[in-house]
Structures are given as structure tokens and as C-alpha cells.
């Protein structure tokens, strides 16, 4: 269930994860003056104690450009993810700083089609600037993913193909 403020913006969310009628998780949101979520206090076991705090940085257009994670809600940031966007606000990369030293430890780069649909992802798992895996996606005319191939060594050899059946 959701709690909304007077402007209709979501300020909290309660979730019954296992459908037993008992709330298992509560997320409470901090909003900016435009009603956009800029922080989430997450109570994973609905005991009234915040277990994790996520903070979001938005650009002037309201698009998320970074997310900070405080995994144990002790006031110390434990990880920072940074997003690069194209002119249309689509994510073109995500960098992960696992030890918050200002250096990306992993970088995922996204290839988009002319409509902004993701048709590929290159994974640099160790942040050395060289891809370690490349996934390519096939989309149908509706932009739905119908196939995926993966190159586990980013060496040009396809190691596997998935085909998706849409109902």
C-alpha cells in the first residue's frame, strides 16, 4: 500500500512480500520541492528501525544521475552508483564505486537503438576500461526483448543465446 502527500506524491510504501497479510517492508521517501523522490529510508523487516538509506541525485531535468547506498543506515555511504545519460535522458552507462574512493570499480555501458531501447550492454567488471562481457539484445517492433546473446570473454565469440517467447 502507499501513502501520498497532499499533491499525490508517494511518501511511503508498505509491502507484504509473502502475501500472509503482514507488512514485511516499509519504505519512507523524502521528496524535493518538485515532488520527486531524493531519498528512501528502507525498513526491511517492518520493525520500525531503518535498515538502509538510499539517496538519489537528480539533474535539472529530474533524471537520476547518481544513487548512494548506506547499507546499514549508520550515516556512512557504502557505495555510489553514477549514471551517464544521453540527450533524451536514457542511461548510457552505470558506474559502481563499491569502496567510495571516487574510482569506478565496475562500469556497465549501454548501447541504445534510435528509439532509446537497450540493444546491448558491455560489462567492465574490474573497472580497468576493457569490457569483460558483452550482451546483445534483439528487440521486436514494439521494443520488447525477444532475444539475447552473450559473449562471456568480450572476445567476439558468442557463448550463448537466449530466445524469449512473448505471450
Question: Distance (Å, rounded) from C-alpha 107 to C-alpha 121?
Answer: 10
List, in order, residues 6 or more apart from 55 with CB less than 8 Å away.
Answer: 38, 39, 67, 68, 70, 77
Question: Distance (Å, rounded) from C-alpha 75 to C-alpha 4?
Answer: 26
Which pTM does this prediction carry? 0.89
Q: Per-residue pLDDT tens, the chain, 167 aa: give them.
A: 999 999 999 999 999 999 999 999 999 999 999 999 999 999 999 999 999 999 999 999 999 999 999 999 999 999 999 999 999 999 999 999 999 999 999 999 999 999 999 999 999 999 999 999 999 999 998 989 999 999 999 999 999 999 998 87
Amino acid at each position: 500500500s502507499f501513502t501520498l502527500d497532499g499533491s499525490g506524491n508517494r511518501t511511503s510504501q508498505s509491502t507484504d512480500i509473502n502475501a500472509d497479510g503482514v507488512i514485511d517492508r516499509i519504505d519512507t521517501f523524502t521528496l524535493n520541492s518538485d515532488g520527486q523522490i531524493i531519498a528512501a529510508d528502507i525498513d526491511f523487516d517492518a520493525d520500525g528501525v531503518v535498515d538502509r538509506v538510499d539517496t538519489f541525485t537528480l539533474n535539472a531535468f529530474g533524471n537520476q544521475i547518481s544513487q548512494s547506498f548506506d547499507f546499514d543506515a549508520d550515516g556512512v555511504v557504502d557505495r555510489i552508483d553514477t549514471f551517464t545519460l544521453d540527450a533524451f535522458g536514457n542511461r548510457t552507462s552505470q558506474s559502481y564505486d563499491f569502496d567510495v574512493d571516487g574510482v569506478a570499480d565496475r562500469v556497465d555501458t549501454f548501447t541504445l537503438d534510435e528509439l532509446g531501447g537497450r540493444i546491448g550492454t558491455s560489462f567492465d567488471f574490474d573497472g580497468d576500461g576493457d569490457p569483460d562481457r558483452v550482451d546483445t539484445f534483439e528487440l521486436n517492433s514494439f521494443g520488447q526483448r525477444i532475444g539475447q546473446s552473450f559473449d562471456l570473454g568480450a572476445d567476439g565469440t558468442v557463448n550463448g543465446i537466449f530466445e524469449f517467447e512473448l505471450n
